[in-house]
Amino acid sequence: MPVATPKQYAAMLDAAQEGSYAYAAMNVSSLVTANAALKAFSDKRSDGIIQISTGAGKFVSGLAVGDAVLGAIVLAEAVHKLAERHDVLIGLHTDHCQPGFRDGFMKNWLAKECERLGFETGADGDDVPAAVLQAHPWLESFREETEKGSGRFRRKKSGDVDGFLRPLIQETARRREAGRPNLFQSHMLDASNLPLDLNLQLSRELLALCAQNEIVLEVEAGVVGGEEDGIDHTGAPADKLYTTPEDMVAVYEALHGVGRYMFAATFGNVHGHYKPGVVKLRPEILKAGQQAVLKNFGAEAESDLVFHGGSGTPTEQIAETLDYGVVKMNIDTDTQYAFTRPIVDHVLKNYESVLKVDGEMGDKKHYDPRSYLKKAETGAANRLAQACDDLRSTGKTICGRV
């Protein structure tokens, strides 16, 4: 079965929401990891999501090219072809894409802010007047986080909205015009590095663009970027790591009716910034948020939630989130480890033959990359298969029924 059509993808999300289960969304960065994901979903008779980060896209395009958009397209096209040999539905998704200071959206907003406060700004968004920076204390750290260098040597970092998300949406738009299927079924915009009102403004704009192309948009709110907002790597976690019911209501108000979206609400989960045990997961946050939305807008308003940063979460806690509307859980660190572990085993067990020790020739069959990558593919597939069980998607494929 080829990759899910927009209609099939929507049916997948509906089925998960109604059935209180979720799809594992595995991050892939090569054909081997993509095949591991396909194998696991196939073995488990589970539909699933394969996702590509900006960094993975860059990696896939090769060290000599380093183009995130190109790499994402190449890998997505490969998954489209490979998925045809499997009898489950696969959704293709791109992971975290954060707006940058040089994105068109920010330039427009800055120009308006400068005008409102009676200043002129440089053509490139440079030379932001001090009064404008003072009026928006988050702006300077936002700029530092999203740019390399300083002063006139500032350069934007790759993978921002104009450099990654918009080109990929345009790629799907071009394909649709030519009568071809969508390249990706969904994309993530993570504008949690902006204040909530700007985050929602940008989310709304991109959701409208996605909706024109039958693409689902994943958005994030809750974690506020910038050190001044209290993200502390050593001390107790800030309240901002927990999406409030008010945030969830605001997201619904801003986005409902514009297009289909998923919402990465945060309930203490982090993307590997903290050691285990430092941050406490509080799934009840999701319950409270959903209840606030349902109370204000009725039963139809239940949000499709996404669980990020869940490595090492106990199975019971994962199950709890499924009852509160999580339909997608990102799996990256756990499958990365499960991929690498058998390679380490291979190298340590065959130490004398993977290397040319003391003038010997080693053993070609042990240093042929396929010899250990097959083991790695199996390792990652087995870990993802376990995730399908944890997320209750095993055996529930709707392939052939929609």
Q: Is 190 a catalytic residue?
A: no
Give yes or no for residue 308 binding Zn ion (CB under 5 A).
yes
Instruction: Compute the least distance from the CB of residue 325 to Zn ion, in Å.
Output: 17
Smallest distance from Zn ion to CB 306, Å: 8
Residue 52 · residue 76 · CB < 8 Å: yes
Give the x/- contact pattern for Zn ion in 224-263, rule: CB under 5 A: ----------------------------------------
**Which range touches Zn ion (CB under 5 A), out of 43-51, 74-82, 304-312, 340-348?**
304-312
**Which of 43, 67, 87, 95 is labelled catalytic?**
95
**328 interacts with Zn ion by CB under 5 A:** no
State both tokens at 125: 């968004």
CB 58 within 8 A of CB 73: no
Give the Å distances, CA to CA, from 189 to 207, 287, 354, 402: 9, 23, 43, 28
- Classify 52 as helix, strand or coil: strand
Interface residues for Zn ion in 269-288 (CB under 5 A)? 271
Using the minimum distance from each CB to Zn ion, give the nearer residue, 308 or 383. Answer: 308
Q: Which is nearer to Zn ion, 214 or 229 (CB)?
A: 229
Please, which residue, 156 or 271, has the CB nearer to Zn ion?
271
Angle, alpha carbons 76-203-248 (nearest 5°):
110
Q: What b/e readout covers 328-343, taking b as 16+ CB neighbours within 10 angstroms? A: bbbbbebbbebbeebb
Q: List the one residue out of 91, 119, 86, 84 whose CA is nearest residue 28.
A: 91
The CB-of-264 to Zn ion minimum distance in angstroms stands at 7
Cβ-contact 121, 110 below 8 angstroms: yes
d(CA 128, CA 107): 11
By the 8 A CB rule, do 192 and 142 touch? no
Residue closer to Zn ion (CB basis): 136 or 271: 271
* CB of 93 vs Zn ion, minimal distance in Å: 12
Which region, judged by CB under 5 A, interacts with Zn ion, from 136-144, 153-161, 284-292, 302-310? 302-310
Number of residues that bind Zn ion (CB under 5 A): 2
Candidates 265-273, 281-289, 312-320, 362-370; binding stretch for Zn ion (CB under 5 A): 265-273
CA Rg, the chain, in Å?
A: 22
In angstroms, give the least distance from the CB of 65 to Zn ion: 25
CB closer to Zn ion out of 114 and 270: 270
Categorise residue 215: left if φ over 0, alpha if ψ from -120 to 50, beta otherwise. Answer: beta
Q: Which is nearer to Zn ion, 39 or 308 (CB)?
A: 308
Query: 395 φ, ψ to 5°?
Result: 75, 0
- Give the range of 141-149, 300-308, 343-351, 353-361 binding Zn ion by CB under 5 A: 300-308
Nearest to 100 by CA among 91, 90, 110: 110
Position 396 contacts Zn ion (CB under 5 A): no
Indicate which residues carry an active-site annotation. Answer: 95
Binding site for Zn ion (CB under 5 A): 271, 308
